[in-house]
Each structure stands twice: as structure tokens, then as C-alpha cells.
Amino acid sequence: MLETWLAEPALTNTTAWRTDPLENTLARLRDSVEEQKATTWVADPTCRTIVSVLAHTDLTPQEESLLRSVVQHLTEWRTNPQGLETRRFGTGLRYRVEVLRTTPNPTELSMRGGPFDLHQSPAPAPEDDDDAPAADDQADS
């Protein structure tokens, strides 16, 4: 359903889409549907773009409520308004679950308890130089 919404031509002309194009995200969403995956990882910045883009479409009251909940929790995860000690929970899944559990403004999402994963990819490892001699080759020189 998200892929269908985001594929609307009017949404590709929004400032949010032009700033952070979502073509690759749409392709990933389509692939996930075709492969019948239960979840699709979406990075936090991409999620924020999606929310900004969806704000320009006609949504049902329930969809609007869900979108407001997502925005609230994305903001809470970023700003930590409860002042949770990140040393106790880290900054990943356990932290997000605790933010949802302790939010002063429960939403339909926080009442479900989460977790709602946001994936941050690690920086890619440097690639080996295939032209460099291997350690064993250098020992023979």
C-alpha cells in the first residue's frame, strides 16, 4: 500500500521528493511485495522523506492519525524528551521500545508496544585492492 501511495505522480513533484528522491525506495518496496517479505527496512532519513511526501496526499482520518503517530515517535526517538539514559538502553531497538513505553503522549502505535525498527546501515568496509600482492606473495619476494 505504501508503494502505491508513493507512486502517485502528484507526489513526485513535492519538495520533499525532489530533495530526496524515492525511486530506489519504491523499487525496494516492489521487490519486497514480489518476494512476499514481511518487512522492508527503511532508513530513518528515508522514513522522514516518506512522511513529508505523504503529507501532500489525501488521507483518511485513520491514515492521518497513523502518520501523526509516526512523526511523533520519530521525533521522540531523535530528541529523547523523556530523558532516558541511553547507557541503559543503547540507541537502537531497546531504546526505541522504551521511548514508546514511556511516552507522555501515547499513540495507537505506542499502545501496541513496538518495536518499530529503523535501520541505519553501517559504513561499507574498505574493499581489498585486487592488484595488491597478497601477504604470502610478499613473503616469497
Domain boundaries, the chain: 1-41, 59-120
Q: pLDDT-derived band of residue 139, with 50, 70 and 90 as boundaries?
A: very low
Q: What is the pLDDT of residues 3-20, one digit of tens each?
A: 887 888 888 888 998 899
Cell of residue 102, nine digits: 514511556
Residue 132 has pLDDT above 50, yes or no: no
Q: pLDDT-derived band of residue 134, with 50, 70 and 90 as boundaries?
A: very low
Q: Give the H/E segment covering residue 108.
A: helix 108-112
User: Has this prediction a pTM greater than 0.75?
Assistant: no
Residue 112 has pLDDT above 80, yes or no: no
pLDDT of residue 24: 92
Residue 65's contacts (CB-CB under 8 Å, 6 or more residues apart) are: 107, 108
